[in-house]
Structure formats: C-alpha cells, structure tokens
Amino acid sequence: LPKLTKIAGFEWGSGFYINPTPPEEAAKYLREAKI
C-alpha cells in the first residue's frame, strides 16, 4: 500500500497507519453508507 505521510509516533506505537482523508470525502462516504 502506498504511504501518503511519514510514519509518526502513533504509527510506531500502535502499528496502525493513518491515511488522511479530506472532510468532504469522509462526509460523502458516510452519507452514502447503508445502515
């Protein structure tokens, strides 16, 4: 997987990686989610 940012403290400590998502994209994704 491509990494969009450098590894920081959270990634080193938790083993999870964060890929930032613009708020507009996140809102669109959440609006379209079927629950």
Query: Domain extents for the chain?
Result: 1-35
Residues 6+ apart with CB under 8 A from 19: 4, 5
Confidence of residue 21 (pLDDT cuts 50, 70, 90): confident
Residue 24 has pLDDT above 90, yes or no: yes
Q: What was the pLDDT predicted at 3?
A: 64
Within a 10 A sphere around the Cβ of 17, how many other Cβ atoms? 13
DSSP state of 10: H
Q: What percent of the chain has pLDDT over 90?
A: 31
C-alpha–C-alpha distance, residues 30 and 35, integer Å: 10
Rg (CA), the chain: 13
